[in-house]
């Protein structure tokens, strides 16, 4: 997969994309990453990417001309597939696991990140999808895009060491994940559930499933409506 970002602070990606699983994905050849500086498509001495809002008000709005010019230059190479272009905005579609899965199926993603008061509305004509991380306002889209990129890249086959890593995680199958433990078996009087030490894999699988169901019912009952449940799950939830 090729992931590209267009923003005014491309160096913000250095640490996240150069660390841990994001770095490994690139080292393995599963991911190519390029961060473009929007200022490279400005034409004035100050490399201006923003201006006062029409109609008055505080703050600055990102101009649409450099965004269009950058988009046209980035997508010019006919040898590459046309990207799925993702704008980040609090006014977008709420980001979730289903959208991460959808985006992970694209061969090429281009993220366009806002700053200041946001982006001139006319630039959204380039968006295939506009994504919001949630009902709050961040300073810039770089941070939001990094969250989306991280969630998407973990879904590319072969990126996670254990293939099952992403399959058993929260939201896969519509449930929250069961509680996890590691050594020591007893810590300050708090013990790991006996079943996890039993070596009985069927009992462990059953316990994990029930913990997922109970935790989801308690913390996110809304998820149960669309979860993948069988009769045994329903019986457990009724009790």
In the complex, minimum distance from the CB of residue 134 to ligand SAM, in angstroms, rounded to a whole number? 5
Q: Among residues 25, 38, 127, 133, which is the contact residue for ligand SAM, using CB under 6 A?
A: 133
The answer to the question of residue 81 lying near ligand SAM (CB under 6 A) is: no
The answer to the question of residue 121 lying near ligand SAM (CB under 6 A) is: no
Q: Tell me if 13 is assigned to a ligand binding site.
A: no
The answer to the question of residue 113 lying near ligand SAM (CB under 6 A) is: yes
Cα 98-107-124 angle, rounded to 5 deg: 70
Nearer to ligand SAM, 143 or 237 (CB): 143
Do residues 38 and 67 make contact, with C-beta atoms less than 8 angstroms apart? yes
The span of 30-38, 43-51, 130-138, 165-173 binding ligand SAM (CB under 6 A) equals: 130-138
CA 236 remoteness from chain centre: 32
Q: Is the peptide bond before 184 cis (omega within 30 degrees of 0)?
A: yes
In the complex, minimum distance from the CB of residue 57 to ligand SAM, in angstroms, rounded to a whole number? 10
Q: Tell me if 120 is assigned to a ligand binding site.
A: no
Q: Tell me if 173 is assigned to a ligand binding site.
A: no
**Main-chain phi, psi angles of 34, to 5 degrees:** -135, 130
For the purposes of burial, counting CB atoms within 10 Å of the CB of 146, is it exposed (0-12), middle (13-18) or buried (19 or more)?
buried
Do residues 153 and 21 make contact, with C-beta atoms less than 8 angstroms apart? yes
Do residues 1 and 107 make contact, with C-beta atoms less than 8 angstroms apart? yes
Q: CA–CA separation, 1 vs 104, rounded Å?
A: 8
In the complex, minimum distance from the CB of residue 136 to ligand SAM, in angstroms, rounded to a whole number? 6
Handedness of CA 181, 184, 190, 193 (dihedral sign): positive
In the complex, minimum distance from the CB of residue 123 to ligand SAM, in angstroms, rounded to a whole number? 10
The answer to the question of residue 66 lying near ligand SAM (CB under 6 A) is: no
Do residues 95 and 71 make contact, with C-beta atoms less than 8 angstroms apart? no
Q: Tell me if 199 is assigned to a ligand binding site.
A: no
Q: CA–CA separation, 146 vs 136, rounded Å?
A: 16
The span of 67-75, 113-121, 175-183, 219-227 binding ligand SAM (CB under 6 A) equals: 113-121
**The tokens of 127 are what?**
């968006």
The span of 11-19, 74-82, 121-129, 136-144 binding ligand SAM (CB under 6 A) equals: 136-144
In the complex, minimum distance from the CB of residue 148 to ligand SAM, in angstroms, rounded to a whole number? 8
The answer to the question of residue 132 lying near ligand SAM (CB under 6 A) is: yes
Binding-site entries for S-adenosyl-L-methionine: 114, 133-138
């Amino acid at each position: 997969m090729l992931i590209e970002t267009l923003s005014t602070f491309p160096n913000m990606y250095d640490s996240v994309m150069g660390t841990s699983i994001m770095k490994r994905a690139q080292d393995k050849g599963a991911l190519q990453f390029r961060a473009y500086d929007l200022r490279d498509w400005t034409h004035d001495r100050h490399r201006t990417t923003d201006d006062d809002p029409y109609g008055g008000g505080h703050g600055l709005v990102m101009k649409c001309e450099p965004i269009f010019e950058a988009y046209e230059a980035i997508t010019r190479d006919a040898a590459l597939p046309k990207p799925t272009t993702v704008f980040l905005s609090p006014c977008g579609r709420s980001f979730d696991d289903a959208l991460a899965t959808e985006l992970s199926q694209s061969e090429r993603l281009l993220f366009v990140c806002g700053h200041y008061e946001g982006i001139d509305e006319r630039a959204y004509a380039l968006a295939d999808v506009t994504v919001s991380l949630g009902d709050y306002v961040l300073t810039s889209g770089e941070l939001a895009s990094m969250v989306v990129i991280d969630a998407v890249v973990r879904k590319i086959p072969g990126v996670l060491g254990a293939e099952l890593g992403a399959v058993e995680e929260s939201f896969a199958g519509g449930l929250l994940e069961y509680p996890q433990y590691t050594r020591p078996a007893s810590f300050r009087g708090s013990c790991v559930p006996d079943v996890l030490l039993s070596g009985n894999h069927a009992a462990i699988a059953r316990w994990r499933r029930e913990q997922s169901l109970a935790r989801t019912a308690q913390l996110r009952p809304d998820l149960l409506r669309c979860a993948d449940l069988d009769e045994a799950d329903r019986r457990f939830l009724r009790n």
